[in-house]
Structure 1
Amino acid sequence: MEITVLTENTVSRRGLLAEHGLSVLVEEGGKRILFDTGQSGVYIHNAEQLGISLEGLDAIVLSHGHYDHTGGLPEFPGEVSCPVYLSGKALEDKWCLAGDGKGNRCIGVPWREDARELERLPLIFTWEQEEIFPGIYLLGQISTTVPSEMGEKPFRILQNGRYLPDTMEDEQLLVIRTPQGLAVFAGCAHPGILSCVEKVKKTFPGEKLYSLLAGMHLRGCPQERVEETITGLKEAGFTYLIPLHCTGTLAIARMKMAFGKSCLMAEAGKHFSL
Structure 2
Amino acid sequence: MRAMRIWVLSDNTAAPPVFEAEHGLSLLLEVEGKRFLLDTGQGEVARRNADRLGLDLRSVEAVVLSHGHYDHTAGLPFLLQRTGPKRVICHPNAFDSKYYQRGDIWRFIGMPWRREFLESAGALVEENTGPLELADGVWVTGEIPRRTEFEPGDPDLKCERDGELVADPFLDDQGIVVDAGEGLVVLLGCAHAGAVNTCLYARKVAGKERILAVVGGSHLAFLGEEQLTATISAFRDMDPLRLAFSHCTGQEAACRLAAAFGKRFIFTQAGNCLELGDHPSEGTRPPPALVGPVGFPHYP
Which TM-score applies when normalising by structure 2?
0.85
Q: After superposition, where does 1:75-224 map in structure 2 within 5 Å?
A: 75-76=78-79, 77-99=81-103, 101=104, 103-111=105-113, 113=114, 115-119=116-120, 120-150=122-152, 153-224=155-226
The aligned residue for residue 27 of structure 2 is 24
SS in structure 1 at match of 2:158: strand
> What's the offset of the Cα at 1:259?
0.8
CA distance in structure 2 between the aligned counterparts of 1:79 and 1:5, rounded to whole angstroms: 18
The aligned residue for residue 9 of structure 1 is 12
> What's the offset of the Cα at 1:223?
2.6
CA distance in structure 2 between the aligned counterparts of 1:203 and 1:46, rounded to whole angstroms: 32
SS in structure 2 at match of 1:19: coil
The aligned residue for residue 49 of structure 1 is 52
Residues 1:35 and 2:25 are matched in the alignment: no
Gaps of 5+ in 1: none
Partner deviation per Cα, 1:227-257 (whole Å, 9 max, x = no partner): 2111101111211111111011111111111
CA distance in structure 2 between the aligned counterparts of 1:106 and 1:206, rounded to whole angstroms: 39
CA distance in structure 2 between the aligned counterparts of 1:152 and 1:56, rounded to whole angstroms: 36
SS in structure 1 at match of 2:172: coil
The aligned residue for residue 265 of structure 2 is 263
> What's the offset of the Cα at 1:152?
6.2
68, 73, 87: which is aligned to 2:76? Answer: 73
> What's the offset of the Cα at 1:212?
0.5
Amino acid at match of 1:40: G
SS in structure 1 at match of 2:274: strand
> What's the offset of the Cα at 1:80?
3.1
Maintained 8 Å contact 1:80/1:122: no
CA distance in structure 2 between the aligned counterparts of 1:25 and 1:179, rounded to whole angstroms: 20
Gaps of 5+ in 2: 277-300
Partner deviation per Cα, 1:11-59 (whole Å, 9 max, x = no partner): 1311311111101111012211111100001011111122222121111
